[in-house]
Amino acid sequence: MPSNFVFILHFHQPHGQLKYINERIFENSYRMLLEVFKQFSDLKFTVHISGPLLIYLKNTHSDWLEEMLKLGDIGTIEFMAGTISEAVLPLVPSDLRLSHITRYIELFESLAGFKPKGFWLPERVWEPWLPEVLAKAGLEYVVIDDSTLRKTGFSHEKTKYAWITEESGYSVKVLFIDEKLRYILPWEHPDKVIDYMAQYASDADALLLWGSDAEKFGEWWDRDSSRRWLVEFLSKLRFEKRILMVHPSEYLREHDAKGYIYLDTGSYDKMLEWSGGFFRNFLVKYVESNNMHKKALWVKSKLVKAQGKLKEIPLDYYMAYCNDAYWHGLFGGIYLAHLRQAIYESLIRSEKIAEDAINYFESNSIKRILADFDYNGREELIIETPELNLYVSPWDGGTLFEYDIKKPGLEHNIQDTMTRYREPYLEGTSFNPDWYRRTSWRVHIWGIETSIHDWINNTPFKDMSDLALHKYNTVLTEDPRVFYLRTIGNVYYHGSKSASVFVEKRVELKNKGYSIHYVVRNLDDSIVKGKIGFEYHLAWKVDRDQERKPYYLVNGKTYSIDQWFSGEANTIILRSEVYPDIILRTDQSIGVWIATLSSYARTEKGLKTIPQGLAVMFVRDVELKRGEDFELEVEHTIDV
Amino acid sequence: MRAIMFTFESTYVKKVGGLAEVPPRLGEAMEKLGLNIELFTPSHSVIDTCREPVFEVSINDVNYCVSKLSNLKPIHYVVGGGVLDEPSVYPPGKLMEKSLMFARVIYEYFKEKLTGEKAEFIFHGHDWHSIPVLLALNALSVKKDLNSRFVLHVHLGTRNAVSLDELCRIALLCEETYVRGDHGIAELKHYYYASGGIIERLAALTVDKIVTVSRNYVKNLVRLMGPDKLSKMDYVYNASPLTWDEVVKLLKSKFGLVEPGNHVNRLMFRDKLLTNTIKFIGVSYIEQDVEKYVKSLIAKYDLEYNSTFKSSGPLIFMIGRLSSQKGFDYVLKALDKIVFMEPRVKLVVAFSPTTWDLEAVKAWIEAVLSFPDNLRVFPGMLSRDHAVLFYYASNATLIPSRNEPFGLVALESMATGTPVSASKVGGLADIVLDVRREAQNGVGVLFTPGNIDDLVDSTMHLVELMEKGYEGAREALAIRASCIKRAEEFDWGSSARKTIDLYNEILKRTWIKRY
C-alpha cells in the first residue's frame, strides 16, 4: 500500500532580474527540467511559475512555455497559481491581495485556457486571514511548511495529511511541505531520499510533499550533476512500489482532508530565523525595505484617487510588490541594487500615471507635504513636482532619503543606495556596519586625521559631532521652491562637549534638480577644528541587458567605479551608457572623497561584494572661531 | 469678620504668573463690598521688611520682620528675613522651607497680635505654599479658642509631599499639635496619616472650604483630594485683569492709535509692530541668575531677541510661564507644521523664566535660529502695556497648557478683541467657546491637549479666519466682538460677591469640638 508523494517545483525569477542571469538560468535549469519532464512524462510533477517569470517567459521563450503547458494537457504537470508579482501577501494592502492573485490567474488562463486550483504561497509566509482571500480567488488548496504546523503547537504527525482551515466562513485546504525531505532532496543519494519517503508506506492516506525552488536543479547545482541526479531518482520512483507520485488535486480527490485546523503565522524554518519569527519584521530590520513598502503605500493612495479615471491599477504597480527586494536570506535580496531599482521604477511609473489621471498638480507645480511617510511616528518632508520627488527626513540628520526622477523612460530613485547592516555571516570579519543610513545631505565634522578609508569603512569615533544624526527643523518659505533645514548640534573633543554648531541647509529646486547651500557656524568660544564633511550618495542606473559598468568623472578626468578618488574638485559626474549624467557641482573647489559604497552580502553563490552606488564626501579642513561660518553650495542635477 | 489672605505672589510685590493678580484684585473688590481684607505675602527680597517693621521675631538666630504697606488695597503685610528673602519666588530645593518659614513667622505674628480677640476670622490661603500657614493658624485657633474658619484657594493643584519632621522642625507643627478638621479637634499626626503626607490632602481635611478657579477644575481637585471632599469644594472665577476700555485708552494714549476698534487700523498696527516697533520692546527679569543665563545665551548666539521681522504676516502670541504645565514645549514641536501651513506666520512668545526653566529657555532661543523669519522670543517679563500690544495685534493667542485651573491669559487676550486657541482643559474649557460650535458667541478654538496635529489645525484655522477679518470679513469681526463681551462677563465684582457668600456660609457652621 504505497503512500503519496507530491513533487512541486517552484520556478521564479524576480521582477528586475538581470537579463543575462535570466538567460543563464533558463538554459541551465528550465530547459533541462523541461527535457526531464518530457522524459518522465508518465510521472506526475507539479509546477508553479511565478508571475514575473511567467511574463518574462511569455515574452522571450514562448516555445518553452508552450511545451510545458502541453505537458499540463497530457496530465504530466499540474500547474499552481501564485500572485502576479510573487508578492508576499502580508506586505500587500488588504484591498489588493485578492487582485494580486486574480491578476495571476487571469494571465495564466489567457495562456493555458484553464484556472489552476492550487496556490503557491510566496515564501510560504502564512497568516491566518489567508483562507478568505484564497477562497474568494476560487482556489482549493495551498501549500505551506510543516514548521508553521509546529509553530502552532501541533505534532509532526499532522504533516502527513491535508487539513481544512477557515477564516470568516471561507475555507481552503492546506498541504504541508516536509522539511526533512526538503533538506535531503536532491542533496543526498536518491536511494536515501526514497528510503526516507517510504517511511509512511503502510498508510495509503499519507502524503509526503517536496516543494522548493526549481533552480536548485541547474543553477544552484550544476546542470549535468542535477540532471543525472533527477534521472536516477525519477527512474527509481517509476518502479518504487512504496511510493505513488501524485498531483495535489488528485490526492485531495482521493483522500479527503482529515479535519479542520487553525494555524499560527509562519513560513519555512530559515525564513523564521532570518526574519526574527515574523516576515513583516524585515521592514523593521532594513529601513530601505520599509522605504520601498511605504512608497508603495504612498503611490497607492494616489492610485485610489485615480480610480474611475484609470481602467485598472497598472500591472507595474503590482510588480512593485515582488518580494525578493524586500528581504534578505539565502539570496542577495534587498542588497541587490537592480532589484530595488526595478521596484522604484515601477512605483514611479505608477505614480506618474496616477498623477496625470487626477491632475494632481493642478495649478501648483510644486507640492510640499509633511507626512509620516515611513510610519515611524515622525513626519518627513515630501516635495513633489511633475519631474521629481525629494523625500527629506528632518529627524535623521536632515537628510535626503529619496530622490525620484519621474521623466518617462528615466524613472529612477537616485538616492536608492543601501546601508550596510550587521549580518550574522559577517560576524568575526573586519566589517564595520554603517552607523547611519547612507543617504545625502548629512553633515559631519570629522577629526582632522580622518581619511576616506575611515569614512567609507566606519572607523569608530572619527565624527566629532552629533550633527549627522541630529533632528533638524524644517522651515518652509513663501517661495515654494525654497525651504530650509536648520539645527544646532554639538562638537565633542575627547568625549566632552566643546562647542555648539549651527547648521543651515537652504534647499532650492532648480530646473534639472536642486541646489543646497550649507552654512556651518561656530557658536562658541572654543575653536571648531576639524574636517567639515557633506555626504552624498548617488545610485547609478543598472544596465540590465548588458554588463556595462558605470564610471565617474572628476573635473573631466575619468575614473572607474572601482577606483577611489581623494583630491580637490568642483564637478563630479556619474556616467553610464543607460542613463543621463548625474552631476554634483560645487561653487568652489573643495576636497572630495569618492568611493563605491559596497555591501557584502550572502548569495546563493557565496559571499559577494555588491556595489550600491557612488559615495561622495565634500571635505574641508577648518578652524572656525566663534561666529565664523563655513559655506558651501552644491548643485545636484540630472543632465536631461 | 476679619478676612486675611495669604499668598506667595502679589502683583504689588512680586509676580511670576497669574496667581499674583488674584489675591490683591479679589481682595480689593471685596473691600468695595464693605469687607476689610488684609493680605500677607513673602518679601522675596523686594522689600526690606526690617527697616520699618510692625513685627519682629528671631528664630534660630535669624531675624524675621513683617512690614505693613498701608497704601495698597488691600493692605499688604510683607514678611521677610532668612529664606523668605530668597529672590526666587519658588527657589528650587528651598521652596518647602520657604513655605514652612512663612507659616512660622505668621504664627508668631498672630500669637502676639491676637491676644484676647473675639472676632470671627476667615483665614484664606492661596495655593499649597499657604497651607502651612493655614495649619499653623488652625493650631493657634484651637489653642486660643478663636472663632476662625479656613479657606484654601487652589489656583494650581500640585500633589506635593511634606514630612512630619519638616512641619515640626520649621513650622512647629508637631505630631501632638492639636488642629481642627473634618474629624474634630485631633492631633496633627491623625490628619497627617489620613492625608498620606500630601499637603493638599492634609489641607482638604483641615479647612472649611476648598475653592478653585473654574467649574471644570473642580474635577481635577476631586481627583487630587478625594471624592469625599467634593461637598466642601466650590469655584470662584477669576476675572479679566483687563477691559476693552482700558485697552482703548492705552492704545490711544501711549501708542497714538486712533480708533483701535477699526480692523484696518488693527492690521496697520500689526504690520508696524512686527516690522518696526518690536525692536523697542524689552523685558525685565524676575531672577538675577536667569537674567545672567539668558543674556549669555543670547550673546552666544549673537541674537537680538526683539529684532524686527523682514515682513509682516499672521501673528500668533503666546505668553506665560515656561513650566511644563503651560505646555509651551508642544508648540516647539509644532513649529515646523505651523510654518508649513503658513510660511508667512509670525509667532511671538513671551515667557518669564525661573531657574527651573533654563533648558526650555535654551530650546526656545535656539528655535529662533531655525525660524528667523517666523519666531521671536521675549525671554523675560514683558510689561503689561507691551503684552497688551501683542494681544491686540495678534490673529490669535495660543494657550497650549497641559492643565490650566483658570486661564487669565485667555481673558486678557479676549479683552483686546483677540480670540484664543487653547487646550481643552480646566478653566480654558469653561471660558473658551469654540467658534466651530458656537457660531454666535465663539471666542476661539479648543484642541486636545498635547495633540500636535489638533493644536496646529485648530490654531491655523483660527489664524486664517481672523486674517480675513483684516479685510473686513464679518465672521472674524463678530468673533472679536464676542471676545470683548465674553471677557467682560468675568469681573472681580461677581467673584468678590461669591467669595463673601462662601465666607458667610462657612461661618454659619458649627464644629465638633473633640475627636
Task: Decide if A385 contacts A391 (C-beta within 8 A).
Answer: no
Strand-pair category, A163-167 with A170-177: antiparallel
- Low-confidence stretches of chain A (pLDDT beneath 50): none
pLDDT recorded at residue A306: 96
CB interface of B with A, residues 74-103, below 8 Å: none
Contact B154, B192 (CB under 8 A): no
* Own/partner long-range contacts of A302-311 (Cβ < 8 Å, ≥24 apart): A302/A351, A302/A354, A302/A355, A302/A358, A302/A360, A303/A350, A303/A353, A303/A354, A305/A354, A305/A358, A306/A353, A306/A354, A306/A357, A306/A358, A309/A357, A309/A358, A310/A353, A310/A354, A310/A357
The stretch B120-148 carries a mean pLDDT of 95
Q: Grid coordinates representing B267?
A: 492690521
Nearest in space to B444 (alpha carbons), one of B472, B426, B424: B424
Task: Report CA-CA distances (Å) from B140 to A166, A420, B164, B177.
Answer: 78, 75, 18, 10
**Which grid coordinates belong to B440?**
454666535
For residue range B179-217, what is the model confidence (pLDDT) as tens digits? 999 999 999 999 999 998 999 999 999 999 999 999 999
Distance from the B301 Cα atom to the nearest Cα atom in chain A, whole angstroms: 6
Positive or negative torsion for Cα A51, A55, A57, A62: positive
Predicted local confidence at residue A605, as pLDDT = 73
Q: What residue type is assigned to position B420 of the chain?
A: V
Q: Which of residues 298-327 of B touch A (CB under 8 A)?
A: 300-302
**Chain A residue closest to B299 (CA)?**
A523
pLDDT of residue A603: 75
Domain with CATH 3.40.50.2000 in chain B: 2-239+493-508, 244-489
Contacts of B363 in chain A (CB under 8 A): none
CB B144 within 8 Å of CB B114: yes
Q: Tell me if chain A has a CB within 8 Å of the CB of B345.
A: no
CA separation for the pair B421, B447 (Å, rounded): 8
Contact A137, A182 (CB under 8 A): no
**Looking at beta carbons, which pairs linking A488-496 to residues 24 or more positions away fall under 8 Å?**
A488/A523, A488/B366, A488/B369, A488/B370, A489/A465, A490/A465, A490/A466, A491/A445, A491/A464, A491/A465, A491/A528, A491/A530, A492/A464, A492/A465, A492/A466, A493/A464
**Is the separation of the CB atoms in A169 and A284 below 8 Å?**
no
| Identity of the residue in A477, A486, A502 whose CB atom sits nearest the CB atom of B343 | A477
Domains contained in chain A, CATH given: 3-276 (3.20.110.20), 379-638 (2.70.98.10)
A253: exposed, middle or buried (C-beta count within 10 Å: 0-12, 13-18, 19+)? Answer: exposed
The per-residue pLDDT for range B8-62, each reduced to its tens digit, is 999 999 998 889 999 999 999 999 999 999 999 999 999 999 999 999 999 999 9
pLDDT digits (tens, 9 = 90+) for B234-248: 999 999 889 999 999
In B, minimum Cα distance to A472 occurs at B370
- Residue A475: which of B301, B344, B370 has the nearest Cβ? B370
| CA A608 – CA A600 distance, rounded (Å) | 6
- What whole-number distance in Å separates Cα of residue B162 and Cα of residue B191? 13
Q: Write down the pLDDT at residue B472.
A: 79
In the CATH scheme, what is the code of domain B2-239+493-508? 3.40.50.2000
Does residue A186 have a cis bond before it (omega within 30 degrees)?
yes
* Terminal-to-terminal C-alpha distance of chain B: 27
- Cell numbers 466642601 label which residue? B232
pLDDT digits (tens, 9 = 90+) for B359-384: 999 999 999 999 999 999 999 999 99
> Which CATH number is associated with domain B244-489?
3.40.50.2000
Query: What does DSSP say about strands B315-320 and B396-399: parallel, antiparallel, or unpaired?
Result: parallel
- Interchain pair A474, B336: CB under 8 A: yes
β-bridge pairing A442-446 and A412-413: unpaired
CB contact under 8 A, A477 and B373: yes
User: Which triple of cell numbers denotes residue A471?
Assistant: 533632528
**pLDDT value of position B511:** 59
CA A185-A189-A195 angle, 5° bins: 80
- Over residues A25-50, the pLDDT tens digits come to 999 999 999 999 999 999 999 999 99
Q: Looking at residue A256, what is its pLDDT?
A: 86
User: Cell digits for B328?
Assistant: 509651551
* A523 chain-B contacts, CB cut-off 8 A: 300-302
Residue B268 has pLDDT above 80, yes or no: yes
Give B-chain residues touching A487 at CB under 8 angstroms.
370
Distance between CA atoms of residues A582 and A537, nearest Å: 11
Question: pLDDT band at B116, cuts 50/70/90?
Answer: low
Q: Which residues of A touch B302 (CB under 8 A)?
A: 523, 627
- Is the Cβ pair A500, B374 closer than 8 Å? no
Q: What is the per-residue burial (b if ≥16 Cβ within 10 Å, else e) of A291-328?
A: bbbbbbebbbebbeebeeeeeebbebbbbbbbbbbbbb
Can you give the three-state secondary structure of A472-496, one letter per residue?
Answer: CEEEECCCCCEEEEEEEEEEEECCE
DSSP at B450:
T
- Mean pLDDT for B326-346 is 96
In our burial notation (b when 16+ CB lie closer than 10 A, e otherwise), range A107-120 reads: bbeebbeeebbbbb
Rounded-to-integer distance, Cα B377 and Cα A232, Å: 84
- C-alpha cell belonging to residue B474: 464679518
Residues in chain A within 8 Å Cβ distance of B369? 486, 488, 502
Would the CB atoms of B371 and A478 count as touching at under 8 Å?
Answer: no
C-alpha cell at A314: 497598472
Residue A440 DSSP label: B
Q: Are A384 and A366 in contact (CB under 8 A)?
A: yes
| B218 touches B237 (CB < 8 A) | no
> What's residue B512's pLDDT?
52
pLDDT above 50 (res B514): no
User: Among A487, A523, A627, whose Cβ lies nearest the Cβ of B370?
Assistant: A487
Q: Residue B68 forms beta bridges with which residues?
A: B77
Kindly report the pTM of this predicted structure: 0.87
- Side-chain-side CA neighbours of B250 within 13 Å: the count stands at 18
Q: In which band, very low, low, confident or very high, does the pLDDT at B117 lie, cut at 50, 70 and 90?
A: low
- Closest-CA residue of chain A to B362: A488
Q: Is B339 on the interface with A (CB under 8 A)?
A: yes
- As given in the structure block, the three cell numbers for residue A383 are 516635495
Q: Which tens digits make up the pLDDT trace of B297-319?
A: 999 999 999 999 999 999 999 99
Using a CB-CB cut-off of 8 Å, the residues of chain A touching B300 are 500, 523-524
> What does the alpha-carbon distance between residue A162 and residue A144 come to, in Å, rounded to a whole number?
11
**Mean of pLDDT values over B398-425:** 96
Under 8 Å CB pairs connecting chains A and B tally to 44
Asked if A476 and B371 come within 8 Å (Cβ–Cβ), the reply is no
pLDDT at B443: 97
